[in-house]
Structure 1
Amino acid sequence: MALKIGIPTMSLGRPGLHPLDDKLHVAAQHGFQGIELFIDDLTHLAQTRFNNSLLKAAQHTSSLCKSLNLTVICLQPFAFYEGLLDRTTTSTLLTQKLPLWSDLAHTLNTDLIQVPANFLPPDPETGLPRTSGALDLIVSDLQTLADLGATHNLRFVYEALCWSTHVDTWEASCAVVRAVNRPNFGLCLDTFNIAGRVFADPAHASGKTPDAQSALDASLNLLRDSAKSGALDVKKIFYVQLVDGERLASPLNDASHPFYVAGQPARMSWSRNARLFPCEEERGGYLPVLQIAEVFFRIGFEGWVSLELFSRTCADPDPGTPGVHAQRGMESWRRVVARLGLGVDLPPVAPLVDAGARRNRVVEPVEVAVQHRL
C-alpha cells in the first residue's frame, strides 16, 4: 500500500514557543516523511530571523527540509475565504494573499494549499453573519480560487471542520468539491472532523451525540457507496488526516469549563485543547478513528497520511515538547499500521524521549480567537 506519513508543524509545538527548525529536525529523526507547514510557524520564523521576510523564511525552510529528506505536503490554512458577504475582502484575498502564498508554496517545493471550510463568526459588533451558506456563491468563490491557482500550477485541498459555519461534514465538502469540478481542487478527509460532527459532542455529559454509532455507520456507508458509484472520486482525496479526541471529564457547555471561550463553538474549543494522536486510548482517546481510517484505505486511498494534532500540550514551553510529540505521533502510526494490517514500511525506532515527567504536566488551556486561527 502506497502510504506516506506526515505531521503538521503545529502538532509538534506551538509557534513562538518552539522553533520551526527544531520541529523539522525531530520530525525527520522520528521517521516522518513530510510536514504540513502552518503559516504561523513560517511567520514566526520570518519575524525572529529574517526581518519579517516570509519569502526568506520559506527559502530557509525549503533548504532545511531538503537536507532532512522532508517533503512539504502543503501550506495551510488559507482560511476565511469562500462565501464572504464582504466582497471587498474576497477581492483582497485573491489579489494580495493568493499571489504571496503562491510564491511561498513554490519556494517550499509544494503545489498544495489547504483551504478549511469557512467558520468566520458573526460580526462581534452587530451580531450579523459575515458568510453566506449559498452553495452557488461558495462554489463560485472556490472555482475562482482554483482557476487563478491553476495559472500558477497550484492545487487546493478543501476540508470540512466539524464546527464550520455551513460546510461541516465530509458529505457537504464532497458535494462542494464535486460542484467546483476543477482538476486542481480536491478533498481532505479527517477522522477527527468526521467523528467530531456525527459521533462526538463535547458539550454533552456522555461526550457523544444521541445516535453516535448509528450516525457514524450511516456516514461511513455513504462514503463507501459514494466511492463505489463514482460520486466520490478517490483520486480527488488529496490527503487524509488521522487524529483522535480526548473524552472530557465534564461537558464543555458553560464558562465553568477550563476550555470554554465565549463565542467559540464547543467543538472548536475541544479541538484546540484536546486532540490526541490515533490509538492513544491511555490518554483518553475515544473516537472511532480506526473504523473511519479503515474505510479511507479500503476505498482505495493512497498518498499522504497526516497526524493533525492540536492540543494544550503543544503549548508546553518545555524545549523537549516537539520531540515528545514526534515520538508520540510515530508510535501512534505504528499502532495504526499494526491494528489495520496496512503492510507499509515503518522507520527504525528513534531514541526514546523521557516523556514520563511531562505526561501529566499542567498546561494552560489554549484560548484561540475564532477570527484568527483554524
Structure 2
Amino acid sequence: MAYYPVIMSASLGRGWLHDFDFKMDEAAKAGFKGVEIFYEDLDYVARKIAGNDNPNADQLLEATKHCYDACERNGLEIIGLQPFLFYEGLVDRDQHDKLIEKLKLWFKIVKILKTNTIQIPANFLPANELTGDLNIIAKDLQQVADMGAMEEPPIRFAYENLCWSTFVDTWEMLWKVTKLVDRPNFGVCLDTFNIAGRVWADPSLATGKTLNADADLKDSIERMVKEIDVRKVFYIQVVDAERLNSPLVKGHPFYVEGNPARMNWSRNARTFMYETDRGAYLPVEDVAKAIIFGLGYKGPVSMELFSRTMAEEGEHVPREHAQRGIASWKKLVDRLGL
C-alpha cells in the first residue's frame, strides 16, 4: 500500500457558494487521487434538486449519485463520508435512537459512494448533555460498529478525537475508547492538528502554546508510537493552523460565546502544512513523522482544512485551495522522503 493525497470536499469551499462538480474538477486537476466527502456537500446538492431547504431521502440519494459520478469522472477515490456528528454518550436516549435511524440512511449513501468508511468525530456537545462514562460511550460505538458489520459489503467507522471534544479530546482517550469498543470494523482517524492542537497549542493564550508544550508533545507522540496498533488507523489527516495575533478570548473576531476556543480556532484558522506565510506554526510534521514512520502507517493522507477562506466567493477559491493543498502534499513527500 502506498501513500496518496486526498482532500476533503469541504476543504475546497463551502457547499452553498461553490459547485460540487467544479470543486472535484479542480481537485483532480491539482493532482489529488481521492476525496473525503463532507455530508454538507451532499445536502446542498440535494437542496438544488429539491428546490427547497428540506430535501427528502430520495433526493439526498439522488444527490449522492450525482456526487459519486462527479468523483468517478475525475478519477477520485472516495475514502469516506463524514461527519456523523453528536452521536456517542448522549444523555437523551431518544436522540440516540433518532441518530441510529439516520445512520441507516448513511449506509445507503456510502454504498452509492462506493466507499466503506464513516467518520465519527468525538462528541463535543456540552458536558451536561453527555455522559463521561467511557463504558457507555464504547457501548454506543459498538452498536454502530455491529450494525455496519452486518451490511454487505461491511461498513467500518473511523473515530476521531477533536482537540475541543468534551471527553475524548486526546489520542490517549481516543485509543482507550477504541480498545473498549474492540470491533474489527472500528478504528481511528489520526489528525495532526487535533493532536498538536490539544497537547501543544492553546489559542486562548498569548504565546499560542501550552505551558510545557514541547516536552508534553514529545512524550505524547513517543507513547502514541508504542501504544497504537497501526492496523486500527484507517486514514490520517495532516493540517496545521494559524498563530493568532491575539488570544482567542472574548473580544477576538473568532470568539463565540459558549464555544471552546480551540473549536473557534479550528473553524476559522486552519492552514495546510508548511504555510508559514499564512501563520502556520504547529509542530505537525513531528506528529506526521510519528504516525508514518513510528507507527508504519501507509495509505491515504488527507489534506483536511477548515478556514474562513472557504467562505469567500468566486471560482478562484476551490482552485486556490486545491493548489495550496497539493503544494503542501508535495512538500510533505519531499521532506519525509515518501
Question: TM bucket by the smaller chain?
Answer: over 0.9
Q: Which residue of structure 1 lines up, in the alignment, with residue 211 of structure 2? A: 210
Q: Which residue of structure 2 lines up, in the alignment, with residue 251 of structure 1? A: 247
8 Å contact from structure 1 (residues 158, 185) kept in 2: yes
Q: Which residue of structure 2 lines up, in the alignment, with residue 369 of structure 1? A: none
Q: CA deviation at 1:60?
A: 1.0
Q: Output the amino acid matched with 2:292.
A: F
Q: Output the amino acid matched with 1:296.
A: I
Residue from 87, 105, 130 that aligns with 1:100? 105
Give the structure-2-normalised TM-score.
0.96
- The whole-number CA distance in structure 2 between the counterparts of 1:263 and 1:131 is 16
8 Å contact from structure 1 (residues 277, 332) kept in 2: yes
Q: CA deviation at 1:120?
A: 0.9
Structure 1 gap ranges (5+): 123-128, 227-231, 343-374
Q: CA deviation at 1:340?
A: 1.2
Residue from 321, 324, 327 that aligns with 2:320? 324
8 Å contact from structure 1 (residues 198, 212) kept in 2: yes
Structure 1 position 4 matched with structure 2 position 4: yes
Q: CA deviation at 1:307?
A: 0.7
CA deviation vs aligned residue, 1:269-308 (integer Å, no higher than 9, x gap): 0000000000111111000011110111112101111011
SS at match of 2:36: strand
SS at match of 2:6: strand
8 Å contact from structure 1 (residues 163, 267) kept in 2: yes
Q: Which residue of structure 2 lines up, in the alignment, with residue 114 of structure 1? A: 119
8 Å contact from structure 1 (residues 189, 241) kept in 2: yes
Q: Which residue of structure 2 lines up, in the alignment, with residue 282 of structure 1? A: 277
Q: Which residue of structure 2 lines up, in the alignment, with residue 314 of structure 1? A: 310
Q: Output the amino acid matched with 1:336.
A: L
Q: After superposition, where does 1:18-167 map in structure 2 within 5 Å?
A: 18-50=18-50, 52=55, 53-94=59-100, 96-121=101-126, 129-152=128-151, 153-167=154-168
8 Å contact from structure 1 (residues 58, 104) kept in 2: yes
Name whichever of 45-54 and 289-298 sits farther off: 45-54
Structure number with higher helix proportion: 2
Q: CA deviation at 1:49?
A: 2.8
- The whole-number CA distance in structure 2 between the counterparts of 1:240 and 1:282 is 24
Q: Which residue of structure 2 lines up, in the alignment, with residue 262 of structure 1? A: 257
CA deviation vs aligned residue, 1:102-161 (integer Å, no higher than 9, x gap): 000000001100000000125xxxxxx100110110000000110011111110000000
Q: Which residue of structure 2 lines up, in the alignment, with residue 349 of structure 1? A: none
Name whichever of 106-115 and 64-73 sits farther off: 64-73
Describe the shift of the 1:50–1:22 C-alpha distance in structure 2 as closer, same or farther (beyond 3 A).
farther
Give the structure-1-normalised TM-score.
0.87
- The whole-number CA distance in structure 2 between the counterparts of 1:249 and 1:62 is 41
Q: Which residue of structure 2 lines up, in the alignment, with residue 175 of structure 1? A: 176
SS at match of 1:201: coil
Q: CA deviation at 1:50?
A: 4.9
- The whole-number CA distance in structure 1 between the counterparts of 2:183 and 2:203 is 36
Q: CA deviation at 1:223?
A: 1.1
Q: Which residue of structure 1 lines up, in the alignment, with residue 287 of structure 2? A: 292
Q: Which residue of structure 1 lines up, in the alignment, with residue 330 of structure 2? A: 334
- The whole-number CA distance in structure 2 between the counterparts of 1:339 and 1:34 is 22
- The whole-number CA distance in structure 2 between the counterparts of 1:340 and 1:281 is 18
CA deviation vs aligned residue, 1:300-337 (integer Å, no higher than 9, x gap): 10111101110000011122100000000000111111
8 Å contact from structure 1 (residues 8, 308) kept in 2: yes
